Chains A and B, each alone.
Chain A
Amino acid sequence: MAEELLVVEGLKTWFPLKAGVLQRTVGHVRAVDGVSLRVRKGETHGLVGESGSGKTTLGKSVLRLVEPTAGTVFFDNIDVTKADKTQLRKLRSRMQIIFQDPYASLDPRQTVRSLLTEPMRTHKLVSSKAEATKRATELLSLVGLNEEHAYRFPHEFSGGQRQRIAVARALAVEPDFIILDEPTSFLDVSVQAQVLDLLKDLQKRLGLTYVFISHNLSVVQYMSDRVGVMYLGKIVEDAQRDMLYKSPEHPYSFYLMAAIPIPDPEFKKIPRLLSGDVPSPVNIPSGCRFHPRCPYATEKCRAGEVPLYQGSSSDHHVACHYNIDFEAEKATLRPDVIL
């Protein structure tokens, strides 16, 4: 088994809510609320969840683009949460992030060449301008663009091409770890696979490790080796990909999988609908966060926080007190009151 490159332990990122004239803190948005995550070298760890589940904040907290409130993040045995400025800068050349909106993440006033060489200069990876330009050209061909693109501005490119530029920029500092935060959600389906396949190829060629964040379950399935399901700031289930998609053990994962639209009109889908919406992370329900929407909830679920239990295999973790046989329930379960 490959060694673990990223070890996150009990990570919490809370944002204070301020109110009144004195701007006193009246509460917290518990965006990430006790997450533990282990990512092995060379693998892709997917994170799925609905909006507001804290996936993006988790990604940013790992890189300390937002300061975590509590917990530790070890990257290659270096504690990221305790790193000082110079250490952090060094670390950031090894850890990169690609954001979802390639229209917002590229400076419109810089040419592609300058976008790509800036991180090299910042991290002093090149000694001369000529070398930087040469590296930029190499990067462009790595992501399927060519030399002539180097002198254009971001607005001259399509969405898919811009995302390729964002990938090239992340690679400019030769990282070994990249957080991909919804990298294809702004792209059309006909070009989405181009970017996904590019990311897969680069991973193989350069030995990269990814954390792949998305709300799109099919895309996460396509990209990941392991997948964690997030709900209201917590990982409720974490397992090897096929285990999770074939036999989810947490009720939320089960309903999430059941809600994926299937591109086949002749597939007889049993309608299994979850009631309600995701609650606000300001007022997190007591006990198991999922209990107000869970059809299996009992008194025990309302009472206290649920630990991560071991699931059916040793590397399957699930935050649910019960071992529910969803298949058996299939026939009897009815979507009674929706919402």
Chain B
Amino acid sequence: MEVKKNETVLETRDLTVNFQTYRGEVKALDRVELGLFRHEVLALVGESGCGKSVTALTILGLLPQNAHVLDGEVLFRGEDLLKKSAEQMRSIRAEEIAAVFQDPVTFLNPVLTIGVQLKEAFQVQRELVWNEGSNDQVESGAGDRNIKDFLLRKHEPQPTSRPVSGRRMERIAEELSKDILRLVRLPDPERILTQYPHELSGGMRQRCMIAMALARRPSIIIADEITTALDVTVQAQILNLLKELRDAIDASTLLITHDLSIAAETADRIIVMYAGNVVEVASTKDLFRKPLHPYTQLLMKCIPDVRKPVIRLESIHGSVPDLIEPPPGCRFHPRCPFVMETCRVNKPILKEVRDGHLVHCHLY
């Protein structure tokens, strides 16, 4: 596949978000900058409360009522998503930026079969009518290749003169649904289409969610802790699927996880967040070879590695700060072993230290 290197598909600039709570303003995001390249898996890593999910919700336009975006922009195709109306954002979430969340049970409708929910995703797409012209491919269930062509938008939608009948639309959607379930490696798609969410296991439900997200042929998939509720062996299956899909379709993935090991295995690049700040951005290899930010360095010593058992595991003293009154200067300074005078007063900026390796620290 021809992919232009480092073409940015999504970008946030100076994203600053506060939450109004009864205890005061929570400064959840503080000038968050990130760029998602075309056709990559970008991991957003951090501990709970670091703002990784808030970043995702801001991009999706799904922030709760008590959140205020104070500053910044979310650029997608040259337009600022923060300026879009709720209606426009809905169609962007439907067609362009799909999201998969941690717990599939809460996102699947329990009283509808998987088939009904999945076919609906296909049917609302007007472009489906292109299949009218090349119906043989679709109906014979040409399988893998066909669904991949569809996801890759190889066939641009053709406006047709003839209206498509409801039944025909239904049939096309059914075929595509089966194909897409095969793509996410669910066996026996015919049966799964007739089942209800409670009849499926956690891993199968998460595969269905991924299938539904893909059905809209999104250019960006936001995967927020999609394996947290799953068991280790199933987690390995889903992460493997994610890697397969990256190679199979033309979409960029923003993978949100608290687990650096998962990021190490799945992502092309990693963004480390701490207390509402982006503290380090690097390719996965660079980040693990030479972490620059003290927080990243310490965090890596905190994660046990089964290949190298240790006698003593490190921890970072203190705990994550309360974001109602975040520490002045660098937000990590109270826990940082290399703290300097300037760290207590001045906020560092995100500097590019090496090619593509950015760090938010006064040391560099």
A residues touching B (Cβ–Cβ < 8 Å)?
A: 50-51, 158-161, 188-194, 196-197, 215, 217-219, 221-222, 242, 245, 255-267, 269, 271, 273-274, 276-278, 335, 337-339
Residues of chain A contacted by B309 (CB below 8 angstroms): 221-222, 242, 245
Task: Point out the residues of chain B lying under 8 angstroms from A335, CB to CB.
Answer: 240
Q: Cβ of A262 and Cβ of B47 under 8 Å apart?
A: no
A337 pairs with B187, CB closer than 8 A = yes
- A188-B47, A259-B235, A339-B237 known; 15 new pairs, CB 8 Å cut-off, are A51-B231, A188-B258, A189-B303, A215-B231, A215-B232, A242-B309, A245-B306, A245-B309, A259-B236, A261-B264, A265-B265, A267-B307, A269-B265, A274-B233, A277-B204
Specify which chain B residues have a CB less than 8 angstroms from the CB of A188 in the assembled complex: 47-48, 258, 320
A-B contact pairs, 23 of them (CB 8 A): A189-B302, A190-B320, A191-B315, A191-B316, A218-B304, A218-B306, A222-B304, A222-B310, A258-B236, A259-B236, A261-B235, A262-B265, A263-B303, A264-B307, A265-B285, A265-B288, A266-B289, A274-B233, A277-B201, A277-B204, A277-B231, A339-B187, A339-B207
CB A197 to nearest CB in B, in angstroms, measures 7
Residues of B within 8 A of A190 (CB): 47, 298-299, 302, 315-316, 319-320
Cα distance, A256 to B317, chains bound together (Å): 32
In the bound complex, CA of A189 to CA of B262 (Å): 14
Are the C-beta atoms of A263 and B300 separated by less than 8 Å?
A: yes
Q: How far is the CA of A255 from the CA of B233 in the complex (A)?
A: 7
List B residues 248-271 near A (Cβ within 8 Å): 258-262, 264-265
Residue B185 at the chain A interface, CB threshold 8 Å: yes
Q: Does B80 contact A (CB under 8 A)?
A: no
Contacts of B144 in A (CB 8 A): none
- Give B303-330 as 1s and 0s: 1 = Cβ < 8 Å from A's Cβ atoms: 1111101101111110110000000000
- Closest beta carbon of chain B to A155's beta carbon, Å: 11
Per-position binary interface string of chain B over residues 209-240, scored 1 when its CB falls under 8 Å from any chain A CB and 0 otherwise: 00000000000000000000001111111011
Q: Are A339 and B185 in contact (CB under 8 A)?
A: yes
Cα–Cα distance between A305 and B302 once the two chains are bound (Å): 41
Q: Which of A197, A266, A337 is close to B288, meaning CB atoms less than 8 Å apart?
A: A266
CB-based closest 3 A-B pairs: A261-B261, A193-B315, A50-B231
Give CA–CA (A338, B261) in the complex, Å: 22
Which bucket holds chain B's interface residue count?
35 or more
Asked whether any CB of chain A lies closer than 8 Å to the CB of B334, the reply is: no
Interface residues in B10-55 by Cβ distance below 8 A to A read 47-48
Which of A51, A242, A263, A267 sits near B260, CB closer than 8 Å?
A263
Give the residue of B203, B204, B300, B314 whose beta carbon is less than 8 angstroms from that of A193.
B314
Complex CA gap A215/B234 in Å reads: 13
A273 to chain B: which residues have CB within 8 Å? 233, 236-237, 240
Is A197 in contact with B312, judged by CB distance below 8 angstroms?
Answer: yes
Residues of B within 8 A of A267 (CB): 307
> Is the pair B288, A277 in contact by a Cβ cutoff of 8 Å?
no
> Any chain A CB within 8 A of the CB of B202?
yes
Closest chain B residue, CB of each to CB of A259:
B236
Q: When the two chains form their complex, are residues A192 and B302 in contact, meaning their CB atoms are under 8 A apart?
A: yes
Q: In the complex, how many angstroms separate the beta carbon of A245 from the nearest chain B beta carbon?
A: 6
Q: Does B245 contact A (CB under 8 A)?
A: no
Of chain A, the residue at the smallest CB distance from B289 is: A266
Chain B proximity of A121: nearest CB distance (Å): 31
Question: Which residues of the partner chain B approach A262 to less than 8 Å between Cβ atoms?
Answer: 261, 264-265, 305-307
Q: For B320, what are the chain A residues with a Cβ–Cβ distance below 8 Å?
A: 158, 188, 190
Report A184 CB to chain B, min CB distance, Å: 11
Which residues on B sit within 8 Å (CB–CB) of A271? Answer: 236, 240
**In the complex the two chains form, what is the Cα distance from A219 to B258 in whole Å?**
16
Tell me, in angstroms, the Cα distance from A274 to B201 when the chains sit together: 15
- Residue of A242, A245, A258, A274 ringed by the most chain B CB atoms within 10 A: A274
Q: How far is the CB of A189 from chain B (nearest CB, A)?
A: 5
In the assembled complex, the Cα of A197 lies from the Cα of B315 at a distance in Å of 9
> Roughly how many angstroms separate A197 CA and B313 CA in the complex, as a whole number?
7
* Chain A residues with CB under 8 A of B303: 189, 218, 263
Instruction: For residue B250, give the distance in angstroms from its CB to the closest CB of chain A.
Output: 22
Which residue of chain A has the shortest Cβ distance to B235 in the bound complex? A259
A258→B289 CA distance, assembly (Å): 23
Q: What CA separation (Å) do A218 and B309 show in the bound complex?
A: 8
The answer to whether A256 touches B305 (Cβ under 8 A) is no
Contacts of A221 in B (CB 8 A): 304, 306, 309
Bound: A46/B232 CA distance, A? 17
